[in-house]
Amino acid sequence: MASPLSCSIISPKFTHSFQNKAFFFTTRLHLSLTAFRCTIPASPIHATLPRIAAKNSASLELTKRPTAPSILLTHLESTVKQFQSLMAMIFIFIEIASPVPLYGLQDASISPAEAVLYSPETKTLPRTGELALRRAIPANTNMKTIQDSLEDISYLLRIPQRKPFGTMEGNVKKALKVATDEKASILANIPAELKEEGSVLYTSLIDGKGGLQKLLQYIKDKDPDKVSVCLASTLDTVAQLELLQAPGLSFLLPDQYLKYPRLTGRGIVEFTVEKVDGSAFSPEAAGEAKSTAKIQVVIDGYSTPLTAGNFAKLVVDGAYDGMKLTCANQAILVDSEVGKATGYNVPLEIKPSGQFEPLYRTTLSIQDGELPVLPLSVYGAVAMAHSDVSDENSSPSQFFFYLYDKRNSGLGGLSFDEGQFSVFGYTTIGRDILLQIKTGDIIRSAKLVEGQDRLVLPPQEN
């Protein structure tokens, strides 16, 4: 169970977690030591150690004079252990000096195996909120084929030297063929009242200023800058078309959760954040420094209808207006007293990649290849903290902005807490503001600026 950390009492579990963090930071030193060991010429002592250990007769070798390399190895290993202990103490003192901890995020013990967290599927994990949100839309399979072909170009553009424009051209031609051949199918999935808007978007996708034909021309011109800008525009159009194809949830909620508020699509929440210590947020471009700043978050009901719905209702009710922000390790924590008195909780809700519907009250096993549709390992991810009663539930009102940092993640760039929290959206505007927030700053207001029509309240809430 996740619980707040007391700075006056350091439990063995807490100390162990920091020793494991030290393990992670000394991994490079261990690897260097291993590499050094491999360069030492084999000697009779080193060659016979495995057999001696197996026969439990190591005492026979203790009488032999140790070689110079073995002495050096012993010294280096001792140095590594001392450094690891020092790092553990440093982490402990840093944690004691830090502000309020993040429930369920800071005191979890990390084992050495988790310190090198890795999943073979991490290459497919979206690394931006925009990409994760686009992939989460349950749209027509033809649109997903177009989307996949275009997203491949994003990866090809990252090649630093000679870019494979020929492969990119093939990807666009494939997308164009699907778009033109399957026009009827694409538009047929759009509700009647949205057909006109869908036709306009479809035309823009094919022949628009940021459409497939223009993208193909920029690729033929071998202009990576224009390709990048046009590709972003094309993918945005693809996402808009997909959203028109998905007016509601593609699955039924379990009966026991029908009493909860739910979001049957996307919503946008705008936060106005204010500094109260007299300082100001850095201005944008030639703008003026101000004590307030705007942050926009897209919340996703397609993957987390209960979590996003509960959050949207809290925003509408003004639960976060005037709330103080608390900066913890890699997170900005926001709390509210709503729901605490009644013991109201929302079940932990995570939709695994490739699955049709979310899982409830269970976490994902990342090292077994289970990855979420909405990953935590994205800067600006927004998630609910765990309930202070059980990790199987999310808090009724406490959420956090996650400040993902690859340097503090495992192999493959996965957060150590990946698959453990209900991520329900991403910061899309104002990501640069997050780093400027300090403990004590407040949310002046939070408004649901889009998605009110998708917020479904149970009968007793109407």
Neighbouring-strand partners of residue 332: 327, 401
Strand ranges in 301-353 using DSSP code E only, listed in sequence order:
325-328, 331-334, 346-347, 349-350
Q: What is the pLDDT of residues 181-206, one digit of tens each?
A: 999 999 998 999 999 999 999 999 99
Neighbouring-strand partners of residue 298: 268, 426
Rounded CA-CA distance 423/401 in Å is 10
Q: Which residue has the higher pLDDT, 119 or 227?
A: 227
Q: Which amino acid is at 275?
A: K
Structure tokens at 115: 């310190």
Structure tokens at 275: 């500094």
Q: What is the pLDDT of residues 257-292, one digit of tens each?
A: 998 999 999 999 999 999 999 899 987 766 788 999
Where do the domains of the chain lie, and which CATH numbers do they carry?
Answer: 138-243 (1.20.120.290), 253-454 (2.40.100.10)
Q: What is the pLDDT of residues 346-398, one digit of tens each?
A: 999 999 998 999 999 999 988 888 899 999 999 999 999 998 888 899 999 99
pLDDT at 117: 53
Q: What is the pLDDT of residues 59-109, one digit of tens each?
A: 333 334 444 444 444 555 556 556 655 565 554 444 444 444 444 444 444
**Average predicted confidence (pLDDT) for the chain:** 79
pLDDT interval class at 25 (50, 70, 90): very low
pLDDT at 6: 30
Q: 215: buried, middle or exposed (CB in 10 Å: 19+, 13-18, 0-12)?
A: buried
Q: Which residue has the higher pLDDT, 29 or 208?
A: 208
Q: Please enumerate in sequence order all residues whose Cβ is within 8 A of that of 273, keeping only pairs 6 or more positions apart, or say none.
A: 281, 292, 293, 294, 295, 325, 433, 437, 441, 442, 443, 444
User: pTM for the full model?
Assistant: 0.73
The pairs formed by 339-343 with CB atoms below 8 angstroms and a separation of 24 or more are: 339/396, 339/397, 340/396, 340/397, 343/389
Q: Which amino acid is at 4?
A: P
Structure tokens at 418: 């990946």
Q: What is the pLDDT of residues 335-347, one digit of tens each?
A: 877 656 555 779 9
422-429 and 442-450 strand pairing = unpaired
Neighbouring-strand partners of residue 446: 271
Q: What is the pLDDT of residues 116-153, one digit of tens each?
A: 455 555 567 888 999 999 999 998 899 999 999 999 99
pLDDT at 369: 84
Q: Which residue has the higher pLDDT, 80 or 45?
A: 80
Q: 118: buried, middle or exposed (CB in 10 Å: 19+, 13-18, 0-12)?
A: middle
| C-alpha distances out from residue 313 to 70, 103, 297, 447, Å | 66, 22, 15, 10
> CA torsion sign, 254 to 258 to 263 to 265?
positive
Spatial contact of 274 and 440, defined as CB atoms under 8 Å apart: no
